[in-house]
Chains A and B, each alone.
Chain A
Amino acid sequence: MSLDKSDVEKIAHLARMALDESHIEAYVVDLGNILNLVEQLEAADTDAIEPMFHPLHMAQRLRGDEVSEADCREANQQVAPKVENGLYLVPKVIE
């Protein structure tokens, strides 16, 4: 499996991650090599095998629907890039 430049650009867009134009060729090569490694999986017969989503096959624990967390908004917002009146600020979305 190999990817071309437009594939890498499309994946980068899905990941919302800007790539430096001058580095894209290197990503094309590296990702192609990684996918070649991954393709070894095709040879494994997995027809009768269940996927393993959890190493201990553990079920998700449930808890009562009660308030368990304290209000940490102020502490958490101290590390935010931009806040105002307790709200996170981002560039205008709707003109």
Chain B
Amino acid sequence: MHSKSIAELGAAMRAGEFTSVELTRHFIDRIDRLNGELNALITATPEQALAEAEAADRAIQSGKAGPLAGIPLVQKDIFCTRGVKTSCGSRMLDNFISPYDATVVERLKQAGAVSLGKANMDEFAMGSSNETSYYGPVRNPWDRDRVPGGSSGGSAAAVAARLAAAATGTDTGGSIRQPAALCGITGLKPTYGRVSRYGMIAFASSLDQAGPMTRSAEDAALMLQAMAGFDARDSTCADQAVDDYTATLNDSLQGVKIGLPREYFGEGLESGVAASIEEAIDLYRQLGAEVVEISLPNTGLAVPTYYVVAPAECSSNLSRFDGVRFGYRCEDPKDLEDLYKRTRGEGFGAEVKRRILIGTYALSAGYYDAYYLKAQKTRHLISDDFKRAFETVDVVMGPTSPTTAFALGEKVDDPVTMYLNDIYTIATNLAGLPGISIPVRAVDGLPVGLQIIGNYFNEGKLLNLAHRYQSETDWHRQTPQGFA
């Protein structure tokens, strides 16, 4: 049951082969048995899941089921879930029971999905290895001594290990695509504003975007369909009609123009990863696509630009954690300043503190122009690179990550080395474009992700290209040993 896709599970339940309660019990049992070795979920909600499954079964029987009726998934712990602990991977919110649901949570519930619990993540989504979580690192199901990627590492590991049919993730600089690549699953970061950010704990508000993490592009299409759309409660949510993502999955790739940015195939890219990507691109040629080399000349500016913009926005967003209205509060504060300072000093971990400090510095008097304003200008250069590219090509293609999953502990003490791991994913967030990562040929038993970047609101094209690849290959069906 746990190896079936969302579409297959839905069809089986509608045909009466099994119920959502049976399916949900099956996943709960897997979580009980297997989550201990991965630490992918940090809060399991089996009772709530079974109640939701019962409701889904009733809806299926009455023929009024939503598109995701009875499908068990996990929510990244960055999404507020009413009545359920929402920690964002931080001690700061270890005691926080959300009084409301995020829009993403609400919409997935309306579509009939069942929530099995909350997935581990880097603290406040700041990390690329899931090692900054207050609840300890997540282990990669393909090799338990390696990282799953981050920040949506728990979501990626849960889907890869078949602890859930799908998961939600968020992506500020690669946090859906990079863990999807390192865990061998499909992860889609939609266009900025495609999915509501309401109730999604804010990290960098001009970059943050939620998306599906699934085993296939078809599943991602089904899930994005439920998640996307206008929401008046998020002032940056796009007021634009949502395409029918499943309708275009099988479109022909004849004449589709794929651009390969030469900057994504240079120094730093592991040779095994490069070979897998080249092989995947060859398949696209065979499917009728035209492949051309392009240039995104300002690629080198993406990581430095991001490490001004994201920390600046983070330092502002995280000022709300002051020990007054919710979350952690230090013991016996002697005055208000002591309350703020010790609450924040004790509640935040090292990486979050680093980013708050960098952001505070970049926004402080006398430095704003040199850092923040400069970075917003280089951001424009990066965005213009893509604008020019999309005048001649339909999609941009390349690796998601320069390497396969690295060892736990390998980069955690060297922030800059860790940051450079996101070199191919960050530019997409700065430009606000959609991007997807899909598994291609593994290297030494470790998954490799192919990234496809599209023009604004062109998620349908990305899912189409991803689905056609997955119709010809079975890399997305591989299961890590011990989780089959």
A interface residue numbers (CB < 8 A to B): 3, 8, 11-12, 14-20, 23, 27, 30-31, 33-42, 44, 46, 49-56, 58, 60-61, 63, 72, 75-76, 78-82, 88, 90-93
Decide yes or no: A55 and B432 within 8 Å by CB, A27-B354, A79-B96 being known contacts: yes
Measured CB to CB, the closest approach of chain A to B386, in angstroms, equals 11
Using Cβ atoms and an 8 Å threshold, which residues of chain B touch A52? 376-377, 379-380, 383
Would you give the 0/1 interface string for B253-296, flagging 1 where the beta carbon is closer than 8 Å to chain A? 00000000000000000000000000000000000000000000
Q: Which residues of B contact A91 (CB under 8 A)?
A: 333-336, 338-339
Interface of B is mostly: helix
Question: Could you tell me if B374 and A56 are in contact, using CB atoms closer than 8 angstroms?
Answer: no
User: Top 3 A-B pairs ranked by shortest CB distance?
Assistant: A55-B432, A18-B345, A51-B376
Stretch at the interface among B37-45, B63-71, B301-309, B467-475: B301-309
> Chain A nearest CB: distance from B394 CB in Å?
20
Q: For the complex, what is the distance from the CA of A60 to the CA of B303, rounded to whole Å?
A: 28
A12, A44, A46, A55: the one within 8 Å of B430 (CB): A55
Whether A56 contacts B339 in the complex (CB less than 8 A), given A16-B344, A79-B96, comes out as no
Q: Which residues of B contact A (CB under 8 A)?
A: 95-100, 191-193, 206-207, 232, 235-236, 238-239, 298, 300-301, 303-305, 307-308, 315, 319, 322-329, 333-342, 344-346, 348, 350, 353-354, 356-358, 360-361, 364, 371, 373-381, 383, 415-416, 419, 430-432, 456
Q: Which residue of B lies closest to A77 (CB)?
A: B325
Pick from B100, B206, B339, B381: contact of A49, CB under 8 Å: B381
- Asked if B380 and A20 make an inter-chain contact with CB atoms under 8 angstroms apart, the answer reads no
Return chain B residues, CB-CB under 8 Å to A19: 345, 353
- Whether the pair A41, B432 counts as a contact (CB closer than 8 A) is no
B371 close to A17 (CB less than 8 A): no
> Is A37 touching B377 in the complex (CB atoms < 8 A)?
no
CA–CA, A75 and B99, complex, Å = 6
Judge whether A90 and B99 touch: CB under 8 Å: no
- Listed by A's residue number, 30 A-B pairs whose Cβ atoms lie within 8 Å are A3-B361, A11-B360, A16-B341, A16-B344, A17-B341, A17-B345, A18-B342, A31-B357, A34-B307, A34-B415, A34-B416, A34-B419, A36-B416, A38-B307, A41-B301, A41-B304, A41-B305, A42-B374, A46-B378, A49-B377, A51-B380, A55-B383, A55-B430, A58-B236, A79-B98, A80-B325, A81-B328, A91-B336, A91-B338, A92-B335
